[in-house]
Amino acid sequence: MDKTYIQDIIGQKFSTIGRAADMAWLGFGKEVQATDWKGRDRIVHEFALHLQTSWRIIDNQSDRIVIASGDMYYPISDTDTNAKTFDWDTFDWDIQGGNLYDERAENMNLSENDSRVLDVTVNDHFDICITFSNGWCLQAFISRTQGEVWRFFEPTKGKDHFVAENIK
């Protein structure tokens, strides 16, 4: 299996986005039922992309960043981080729903988004560019010298995952 496997999402709907700790996950295609590694039934999407590297989704039409990996470490948008009552030392970014990433992901999931994948490119360093029909573009770029940076798989197929890792 090679890096072109991710091109299987071309034409698929960009269905959902979320996170588990600091790993972003994106779902593409239809909802399907799957059994997780603990034996529990879950609703997932036909294709999954897990990102553990720096990434962002930009809106090429408005020239703005829609959501980015660093948003996980900032409080939700109505928090005044300059206020004397805000304390960065006690801010817990990992509480679900308590950071800017979770807020933006929820807004994306609730929107009437029928965006589909138009193109996917992966370079020799495993940087990804996914272009969507609504003018958005996901850009993921390798930001460390070792370890897994992203993986692509089909949760219900039992196929091997394509794991991109920097091992040079």
* Domains: count for the chain: 1
Q: What is the pLDDT of residue 121?
A: 95
Q: What is the pLDDT of residue 150?
A: 94
Asked if 35 and 85 touch (Cβ cutoff 8 Å), the reply is no
Report how far residue 122's alpha carbon sits from residue 44's, in angstroms, rounded to the nearest whole number.
24
Report how far residue 129's alpha carbon sits from residue 119's, in angstroms, rounded to the nearest whole number.
8
Q: What is the pLDDT of residue 168?
A: 56
Report how far residue 89's alpha carbon sits from residue 67's, in angstroms, rounded to the nearest whole number.
24
Q: What is the pLDDT of residue 8?
A: 93
**Per-residue model confidence as pLDDT tens for the chain (168 residues):** 577 889 999 999 999 999 999 999 999 999 999 888 888 998 999 999 999 999 999 999 999 999 999 999 989 888 877 777 888 888 899 999 999 999 999 999 877 778 999 999 999 889 999 999 999 999 999 888 888 999 999 988 878 899 998 765
The domain containing residue 124 runs over which residues? 3-166
Three-class secondary structure assignment of 60-107: CCCCEEEEEHHHHHCECCCCCCCCCCCCCCCCCCCCCCCEHHHHHHHH
Q: What is the pLDDT of residue 54?
A: 96
